[in-house]
Structure 1
Amino acid sequence: MTIEPLTPDELLTTTRSVRKRLDLTRPVPLELVRECLEIALQAPSGGNRQAWHWMVVTDPELRKAVGSYYERSHQAYFESGSSAGALFQDDPVRAAQQRRVGESSLYLAEHMGDVPVLVIGCIAVGDGGLPPGNQAGLWGSLLPAAWSYMLAARARGLGTAWTTLHLAYESEVAELLGIPGDVRQGVLIPTAYYLGETFAPAKRQPLDEVLHVDRW
């Protein structure tokens, strides 16, 4: 499999959330997904527990069912007034960007079930379920690996997006896919070849607006 000739900085700054540009018609080989997940397994985890699990959904009917839950959750998210497209309306420049994000988010919600591969990153929590209070240590043992998967996919010509809206129906998706009760889902990553040629770094807030050295 061809690896894109990207420097580390290029890989990190051009791995974008791909929604409208996912190729919904081109199959993605399972071996390619496995290759990306092998990279993901090199990520750090708390205590080196490696408690992650990866649900890879390729069956058309199962993808359609997961997509239906996702679309239902996205509809509630949109109607809440807190969706991406509704944010920063007092800033004309940023509002325009947010509208584009909102439009692409809606497109993905309508087509989630058509994406060739859905990867759900999960983590084992044991019989006690999610710990009370701060859960950063738990999710910090899954999210770096999920991001590594997305970086590996980008380097191999695949587009991905970080999504969590399906978690409003986590128990229903777990039942659908046979995920055990002591395993919790953390992220849904639609995966497909992408359309077009290039991705560029996104416009972000200036570092000095969010940087705090020694004291806030």
Structure 2
Amino acid sequence: MTDELLPLSLDELLTTTRSVRKRLDLERPVPLEVIRTCLEVALQAPTGGNAQPWHWIVVTDPGLKKAIAGYYAQSYDAYRRSSRHPRARRFEDPARNATQARVASSADYLAEHLAEVPVLVIGAIDVGGELPAGNQAGLWGSLLPAAWSFQLAARARGLGAAWTTLHLQYEKQIAELLDIPPGVRQGVLLPVAYTKGTDFKPARRQPLDTVLHLNSWSSVSA
């Protein structure tokens, strides 16, 4: 049933919607109707000027998924060897380093099994030409909130997804593979599956006061 929701409060939904990788159920089929329901929720997100320039490419064909996974693996290999990879980021806090190691292992797993994930959802936006120069927040602000709404709707229905953009290194090749027009640019790839269990918890984050600035950058929040 597409309308069977987990018994989560709003705050629980917002704080326990995780990037799910190792706990994606690669064996359980995901009905297209469930994906459609989650996308219907996503389409309620705001867009600049109510333009609604988004497009959603849902990929279930095994051959297409394998091809996308091949490009993803190439991009991930370079990422894994870079200073941006979670395993390369070290902190004074041992607990945070342990978290980084778990995230790195999880990311490795997704790269190895992406082709096996039942559904790949690519969020894209019609830019009508080239990407604008300078800060592009106004552009992507008309796509990314909807993609997050999709993840929330999926979580509420027992599915998980992992937010990733590593495929964008091969955006042109994937666009050709999926017949995406040149003026439509991809913004996020969401591998979607039912999750093994639904008992996700809030993640450990840095204290708010380490990132909160009141009225100026140099202000102290407390």
Matches of 2:105 and 2:91, distance apart in 1 = 15
Residues 84 and 101, structure 1, Cα contact 8 Å, conserved in 2: yes
Matches of 2:15 and 2:212, distance apart in 1 = 19
Aligned residues: 215
Map 1:120-139 → 2, pairs under 5 A:
120-127=122-129, 129-139=130-140
Q: After superposition, what is the alpha-carbon deviation per residue over 1:177-206, rounded to whole angstroms, capped at 9, x for unaligned?
A: 000000000000000000024000000000
Shift of 1:90: 3.8
Identity %: 67
Q: 1:101 aligns with which of 100, 103, 110?
A: 103
- Paired position in structure 2 for 1:182: 183
Matches of 1:8 and 1:197, distance apart in 2 = 15
- Paired position in structure 2 for 1:53: 55
- Paired position in structure 2 for 1:78: 80
Residues 158 and 198, structure 2, Cα contact 8 Å, conserved in 1: no
Report SS of the residue matched to 1:3: coil
Matches of 2:115 and 2:171, distance apart in 1 = 16
- AA matched with 2:133: P
Q: After superposition, what is the alpha-carbon deviation per residue over 1:114-151, rounded to whole angstroms, capped at 9, x for unaligned?
A: 10000000000003x10111100000110000000000
RMSD: 0.8
The normalised TM-score by structure 1 is 0.98
Matches of 1:88 and 1:212, distance apart in 2 = 25
Matches of 1:85 and 1:33, distance apart in 2 = 33
Residues 18 and 159, structure 1, Cα contact 8 Å, conserved in 2: yes
- Paired position in structure 2 for 1:29: 31
Residues 116 and 192, structure 1, Cα contact 8 Å, conserved in 2: yes
Which structure 2 residue ranges, 5 or more long, are not aligned?
A: 218-222
- Paired position in structure 2 for 1:163: 164
Matches of 2:192 and 2:198, distance apart in 1 = 17
- Paired position in structure 2 for 1:153: 154
Which structure 1 residue ranges, 5 or more long, are not aligned?
A: none
- Paired position in structure 2 for 1:172: 173
Residues 71 and 109, structure 1, Cα contact 8 Å, conserved in 2: yes
Matches of 2:53 and 2:180, distance apart in 1 = 14
Matches of 1:99 and 1:173, distance apart in 2 = 30
Shift of 1:71: 1.1
Shift of 1:210: 0.6
- AA matched with 2:101: R
Residues 4 and 155, structure 1, Cα contact 8 Å, conserved in 2: yes
Shift of 1:82: 2.0
Shift of 1:86: 1.3
Residues 82 and 88, structure 2, Cα contact 8 Å, conserved in 1: no
Matches of 2:160 and 2:82, distance apart in 1 = 28
Matches of 1:194 and 1:181, distance apart in 2 = 34
Runs of 4+ in 1 over 3 A off after TM superposition: none
Report SS of the residue matched to 1:130: coil
Shift of 1:51: 0.1
1:144 maps to 2:145: yes
